[in-house]
C-alpha cells in the first residue's frame, strides 16, 4: 500500500525564491495535515484540511506561507519569498475520519534548506 | 509554553530489558494520546494510542499507561530490541486524532545488544 508521498525529499534554494512542497495523501483519506519540525520548536502543526477545506491555519507562521488542496489527492505548501529561518523538515500527514480514532499517517518529509 | 513535555531527551537500555518512556501534559482538555516512533530520514510512524476514558492500552510488546490525575502517560516496551532504537514522540489532541496533534520534543531510545 502506498503511504503518504511527499516531494521533493530535499530542497536547497536561495533566500527570496519561491518554494513549493507537494503531498499526495493515502487514497481514501479525507484529512490532510502539514507539520514543520525544527530543533527549537519540535514538530508543530501548520495547517490542516478536512475534505479539501482548510479547517485550522493558525499554525501558519506568516503570510509568506500558503497551502492549498485542490482535490482529494494533492496538496501544496508554498513559501514566497523564502527566508533562511524557514529551513526545517516539513511533513505531510493524512487520516481517514471514519471508523473511530484512526491515527494520522506521515510521509517521509521534505528537508528544506534556505541559503 | 509546551503543552506536551518529554523531559528525558534520551534513554539507553539493554536488549531484553524494559524501556519506559515518559510524557507529561498540561492541558486538561486533551482526551486522546498517541505515541509515534521515528527513524532518521523517515516520517513518524504510529505506534499506539489511548483514549482518556482508559488507563491502559496494550499492543504486543508495547503498553501505554495514562494517569489523568497526574497528567502523565508512559510507554513501556518489553522486551526491548535493537530495532526499537529510534526517537519516540508523545502526542495529544482534543477531540480525537483528527484534530491538531500537539507533539512533545521526543526521546531518543538506544537499545544495545
How far is Cα B25 from Cα B3, in angstroms, rounded to an integer?
A: 5
Q: How far is CA B81 from CA A74, B22, B56, in A?
A: 37, 18, 22
Residues of chain B in contact with residue A107, where contact means CB-CB under 8 angstroms, are 43
Which residues, including other chains, have CB under 8 Å from residue A95's CB and lie 6 or more apart? A29, A30, A31, A33, A102, A103, A104, A105, B97, B98
- The pLDDT-based confidence of B99 (bands split at 50, 70, 90) is confident
Residues of chain B in contact with residue A33, where contact means CB-CB under 8 angstroms, are 100-101
- What pLDDT shows up at residue A61? 87
**Which of B2, B99, B96 has its CA nearest to residue B53?**
B96
Do the bridges between strand A110-114 and strand A10-13 make them parallel or antiparallel, or are there none, so unpaired? parallel
Q: Which residue of B has its CA nearest to A54?
A: B99
* Per-residue model confidence as pLDDT tens digits over A14-49: 999 999 999 999 999 999 999 999 999 999 999 999
Residues of chain A in contact with residue B44, where contact means CB-CB under 8 angstroms, are 43, 91, 106
Contact flag A103-B34 (C-beta cutoff 8 Å) = yes
- What pLDDT shows up at residue B96? 60
- The pLDDT-based confidence of A110 (bands split at 50, 70, 90) is very high
Residues of chain B in contact with residue A90, where contact means CB-CB under 8 angstroms, are none
Locate B27 and state its grid cell.
492541558
Contact flag B43-A31 (C-beta cutoff 8 Å) = no
Residue B17 has pLDDT above 70, yes or no: yes
Question: How much is the mean pLDDT over chain A?
Answer: 94
* Per-residue model confidence as pLDDT tens digits over B21-80: 999 999 999 989 999 999 999 999 999 999 999 999 999 999 999 999 999 999 999 999
- What pLDDT shows up at residue A1? 65
Nearest to B101 among A4, A45, A108 (CB): A45
- The pLDDT-based confidence of B98 (bands split at 50, 70, 90) is low
Mutate to test the interface with B, among A5, A33, A42 (most CBs of B within 10 A): A42
**Which of B31, B103, B28 has its CA nearest to residue B69?**
B28
Using CB atoms within 10 Å of the CB of residue A6, give its burial: 0 to 12 exposed, 13 to 18 middle, 19+ buried: buried
Put simply, whether B88 touches A (Cβ < 8 Å) is: no
- What pLDDT shows up at residue A28? 93
How far is Cα B36 from Cα B97, in angstroms, rounded to an integer?
A: 12
Hey, CA dihedral for B34, B32, A67, A74, is it positive or negative?
Answer: positive
**A83: closest CA of chain B, how far (Å):** 23
- What pLDDT shows up at residue B2? 84
**B110: closest CA of chain A, how far (Å):** 20
How far is Cα B75 from Cα A58, in angstroms, rounded to an integer?
A: 30
Residues of chain B in contact with residue A95, where contact means CB-CB under 8 angstroms, are 97-98
Contact flag A108-B89 (C-beta cutoff 8 Å) = no
Q: Which residue of B has its CA nearest to A57?
A: B100
How far is Cα B111 from Cα B99, in angstroms, rounded to an integer?
A: 33
Count other C-beta atoms under 10 Å from residue A71's C-beta. Answer: 8
Compute the average pLDDT of residues A88-104.
89
| Least confident piece of the model among A59-73, A87-101, B22-36 | A87-101
- The pLDDT-based confidence of A2 (bands split at 50, 70, 90) is confident
How far is Cα A70 from Cα A13, in angstroms, rounded to an integer?
A: 25
Amino acid at each position: 500500500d502506498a503511504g503518504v508521498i511527499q516531494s521533493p525529499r530535499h530542497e536547497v534554494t536561495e533566500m527570496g525564491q519561491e518554494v513549493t512542497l507537494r503531498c499526495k495523501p493515502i487514497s481514501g483519506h479525507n484529512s490532510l495535515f502539514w507539520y514543520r519540525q525544527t530543533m527549537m520548536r519540535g514538530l508543530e502543526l501548520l495547517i490542516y484540511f478536512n475534505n479539501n477545506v482548510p479547517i485550522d491555519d493558525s499554525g501558519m507562521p506568516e503570510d509568506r506561507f500558503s497551502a492549498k488542496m485542490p482535490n482529494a489527492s494533492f496538496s501544496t505548501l508554498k513559501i514566497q519569498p523564502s527566508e533562511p529561518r524557514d529551513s526545517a523538515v516539513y511533513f505531510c500527514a493524512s487520516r481517514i475520519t471514519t471508523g473511530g480514532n484512526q491515527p494520522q499517517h506521515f510521509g517521509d518529509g521534505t528537508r528544506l534548506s534556505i541559503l | 509554553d509546551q503543552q506536551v513535555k518529554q523531559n528525558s531527551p534520551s534513554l539507553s537500555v539493554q536488549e531484553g530489558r524494559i524501556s519506559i518512556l515518559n510524557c507529561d501534559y498540561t492541558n486538561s482538555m486533551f482526551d486522546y494520546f498517541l505515541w509515534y516512533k521515528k527513524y532518521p530520514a523517515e516520517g513518524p510512524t504510529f505506534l499506539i494510542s489511548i483514549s482518556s476514558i482508559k488507563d491502559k492500552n496494550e499492543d504486543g510488546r508495547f503498553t501505554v499507561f495514562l494517569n489523568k490525575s497526574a497528567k502523565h502517560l508512559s510507554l513501556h516496551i518489553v522486551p526491548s530490541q535493537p530495532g526499537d532504537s529510534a526517537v519516540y514522540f508523545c502526542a495529544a489532541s482534543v477531540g480525537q486524532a483528527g484534530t491538531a496533534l500537539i507533539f512533545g520534543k521526543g526521546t531518543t531510545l538506544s537499545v544495545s545488544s
